[in-house]
Structure 1
Amino acid sequence: MAPLRGAKRRRKAAAEKKAAMAAAAAAGGAPGAGGGDWWDGFCMRMSGTLSCIEDAQRFESIFKMPRRTFNYICSLVRDEMMVRSSSYTFLDGKVLSLEDRVAVALIRLNSGGSLVTVGSAVGVNHSTVSLITWRFVEAMEERASHHLRWPDSSEMEKIKSMFEKIQGLPNCCGVVDTTHITMCLSSAEPNCKVWLDHEKNYSMVLQAVISPDMRFMDIVTGWPGSMKESSILHSSGLFKMCEKGARLNGSKQALSDGSEIGEYIIGDAGYPLLPWLLTPYQENNLSDAKVEFNKRHAAAIAVAPRTLVKFKDTWKFLHGEMWRPDKHKLPRIIHVCCMLHNIIIGLQGSAMVEADMSNNHDANYKQQVCQLADENAVMVRDKLSEHLVSS
């Protein structure tokens, strides 16, 4: 068929959009309307075990987010999710609305259930669950990328202020940490050993830079679990940008001795000590200044494991219960789950931040230790330590 041009292309696009909205309306309400008719109908399709829970709590128990957050996500992905609007139907032949489609995808991602389990719960074929989930992932990549980005200068000033207010660390811009996304792989699969990590699990690593309010500011994923934290860092765009001065290049802050400290992030002992990445002192018999630095460093860095615990607890799809996951698609799914995490944080505010959570996001994984230390970074950390005890 010849390529569509001009008015013909616009007429086709308008017709598709009109058909999408008509199909959504027929399936329980206009896209984004969030009317009670859709939720009532969807609840009837779900198991009756949640019927005794009040409506708002029932919604959050299923989707792990408030209704207004769900509605916002629907508004983001509406156009992409409603292409070929009549293609997805319930087992009874009724066309899935926008809300139905987003609901199916979110349940698949946050329940960790199999395609068959999710399909049975909501009344659709398991192949429909698979197709809708992947369409949702593509739609989020297209429409929600602005929810996971490096902060601009004004946003970074607020982040630095939070770190200094909470733990007294001047000019701190974030915390870097990694977590393992475990996978079920067959030992007969080609190159499976590269995915075998130090704890004998098949896994993919997620490295994230996290703000004090538990947002992801930068992520890298797709690397096999056999790689160390330090190696993943050196392979990341974050490392390359910081090394050439394209990131963490904002205003410096004066210390008590008259010197200045540039922007930096903090990380655990698994990372190298760099001028822009400060790690804790690891030797014995520390001075009072170094003890104080380690104390504040540990308190500030705790936001990262808490965030990763919450992240993995919400998106149980990432718990390794998938059989032979597509290792090309999994990084994209992880990325979308990180964007969803940020959206929930952004709309839920302090309620999520103040939740009581453990720090054990990598159960049974030992702390990695990196002995690499840049000479300039040693001086930067020492000056900061002295500043903390004198200020």
Structure 2
Amino acid sequence: MAPVRGINKKRKVEKKDEDNSLASESSEEGSTEWWNVLSKKIIGNPSTSNGVDRFKSTFRMSQRTFDYICSLVKDHMMAKTHFNFSNGKPMSLNDQVALALIRLGSGNSLISIGDSFGAHHSTVSQVTWRFVEAIEEKGRHHIQWPSTDREIADIKQKFEKIQGLPNCCGAIDATHITMLLTSSDQEAETWLDYKKNHSMILLAIVDPDLRFLDIVAGWPGTMNDSSVLYSSNFFKLCQKGERVNGKKISLSNETEVREYIIGDSGFPLLPWLVTPYPEKELSKSELRFNKRILETHAVAKAALARLKEVWRMIRGDMWRPDKHKLPRFILACCILHNIVIDMEDNVFHETHSSSLQHDPGYGENVSISDDKNGSILRDKLSIYLSQKLHC
């Protein structure tokens, strides 16, 4: 399967329509009784926490967000053959969504999840895959590049508030999705990275709210960050001027600065991608500039860390994935990550400030690319920020 890329569609949830539709639903599937019955199966009878807290800790989201996800996938998931529990009782829409979310969120085996739900492991697999298909089809508009002046201006303003970088509209980073492949797999060697892990690369461009603006998934872990970027549709769009090519701004030193994104030293310096100065005999202003870049770039690392902390299936510890389906699992998890943010879900901010490193053990492969226009842009920014500091 070809690498999965973010699709440029409308992302924003229409709050009024969504709230009205959810308020009008009074079915058994949205009731408290449904959750009470299910929670006893999968959690037992904890004596301390209440039902709302158990719901949040189980699904890593509020019930409002859960209901919105159900509304997204309902038509797709309920249109085909229905699924049953092991006792023959039909699974409701909420049962199926809960099963899939726990599979994606826990990373536990099909058998252990099936045992806790009272469902056959093959049912867990089929329900999860149908959910991934549904989220991919109905939720892709939650990953998009900003399409309005207001959206991009908001992103730039928030980036500038971090460390003063003007006209920045994204931060890029990559992480390895490790897999457990058997030696009998004829393609296993292709996916063996320099840490001797079988892995797939996820490349992501992130906004200051840790939302994914664009992703690329599917390339083998043998590739470095620069190679994945060069192979991406995002790179092609930027090179053609169809992305990261909006309004220039005038700085106080009477120079203009174009739009750009930022990356660490693993990425190439390009006319629209600013990276730190190479670590060699740097001036004080260059060292300060590097610090600003890295502290601003931290949002990309935080987003990937949170993705892996919440959607543990793609941490790759406990399963042998179909390599052709894995990019779609990754995309589904990225969409879910954004949905929680787009729904302004306080649970996301309250419980998921992760200290997890998104790529433990993987060092930064320093790119040696040095584009002239990229150097000019970096110097302009460095001089501007240095002058601003001394004003």
TM norm structure 1:
0.89
1:348 paired to 2:347: no
Amino acid at match of 2:362: Y
- 1:362 corresponds to 2:364: no
Worse overlay, 35-44 or 221-230: 35-44
SS, match of residue 317 in structure 1:
helix
Partner of 1:223: 219
- Quote the offset at 1:374 in angstroms: 0.3
* 8 Å contact kept, 2:200–2:221: yes
- The letter of the residue matching 2:366 is V
Contact 1:203 1:224 (8 Å CA) reproduced? yes
More relative contact order, 1 or 2 (CA 8 Å, 6+ apart): 2
Which is worse superposed, 287-296 or 136-145? 287-296
C-alpha RMSD of the superposition: 1.7
Q: Which residue of 2 aligns with 1:265?
A: 261
Cα distance change, pair 244–137 in 1 and its aligned pair in 2 (3 A)? same
Q: Is residue 74 of structure 1 aligned with residue 83 of structure 2?
A: no
Which moves more between the two structures, 89-98 or 263-272? Answer: 89-98
Counterpart position of 2:18: none
Per the normalisation by structure 2, the TM-score is 0.89
The partner residue of 2:146 within 121, 132, 151 is 151
Query: Per-residue deviation at 1:299?
Result: 1.0
Aligned: 1:99 with 2:94: yes
Aligned to 1:190: 186
1:373 counterpart (354, 364, 370) = 370
Could you tell which deviates more after superposition, 198-207 or 57-66?
57-66
Long gaps (5+) in structure 1: 1-28
Cα distance change on mapping 1:49 and 1:308 into 2, 3 Å? farther
TM-superposed CA distance for 1:350, in Å, is 6.4
CA deviation vs aligned residue, 1:42-92 (integer Å, no higher than 9, x gap) = 12322416454211111112111111111110011111111236x311112
Pair 1:43-2:39 in alignment: yes
Q: 1:46 to 1:283 in 2, by over 3 A?
A: closer
CA contact (8 A) 1:272 1:372 kept: yes
Distance change (3 Å), C-alpha of 1:372 and 1:77: same
Match of 1:235 in 2: 231
Aligned equivalents of 1:42 and 1:350: distance in 2?
A: 23
Using a 3 Å threshold, how does the CA distance of structure 1 residues 49 and 317 change in structure 2: closer, same or farther?
farther
Whole-Å Cα distance in 2 between the matches of residues 390 and 32 of structure 1?
63
Are residues 1:139 and 2:169 paired? no
Tell me by how many angstroms 1:348 deviates: 3.5
CA distance, structure 1, for counterparts of residue 349 and residue 288 of structure 2: 25
Maintained 8 Å contact 2:269/2:371: yes
Cα 1:256–1:157 change in 2 (3 A) is same
Task: Determine if the alignment matches structure 1 residue 55 to structure 2 residue 51.
Answer: yes
Work out the CA distance in 2 between the residues paired with 1:321 and 1:221: 18
* Equivalent in 303, 306, 311 of residue 299 of structure 2: 303
| Higher mean C-alpha deviation, range 149-158 or range 102-111 | 149-158
Report the CA distance shift for 1:352/1:167 in structure 2 as closer, same or farther (over 3 A).
farther
Deviations along 1:243-262, one digit per CA (max 9) or x if unpaired, are 01000111001122211111
Q: Distance in 2 between matches of 1:204 and 1:124?
A: 30
Structure 2: distance between partners of 1:219 and 1:367: 19
Task: Show structure 2 runs of 5+ residues with no match.
Answer: 1-24
Aligned letter for 1:348? E
Matching of residues 239-318 of structure 1 within 5 Å: 239-318=235-314
2:96 partner SS: helix
AA of the residue aligned to 2:120: N
Shift of 1:358: 2.6
SS at match of 1:48: coil
Amino acid at match of 2:83: Y
Q: What SS does the corresponding residue of 2:87 show, helix, strand or coil?
A: coil
Q: Deviations over 1:278-316 (max 9, x none)?
A: 000113222232122111111100111111111001111
Taking the aligned partners of 1:358 and 1:104, their CA distance within structure 2 comes to 27
Aligned to 1:11: none
Identity of counterpart residues, as a percentage? 51
Contact 2:84/2:90, CA 8 A, preserved across alignment: yes
CA distance in 2, matches of 1:316, 1:265: 28
For residue 333 of structure 2, what is the aligned residue in structure 1? 337
Q: Secondary structure at the match of 2:304?
A: helix
SS at match of 2:343: helix
**Is contact 2:248–2:257 with CA below 8 Å preserved after alignment?**
yes
Paired residues of 1:31 and 1:75 also in contact (CA < 8 A):
no
Shift of 1:214: 0.3
1:359: how far off?
A: 6.0
Q: 1:250 to 1:353 in 2, by over 3 A?
A: farther
Which residue type is aligned with residue 242 of structure 1?
Answer: C
Is this contact kept in 2: 1:60–1:67, CA < 8 A? yes
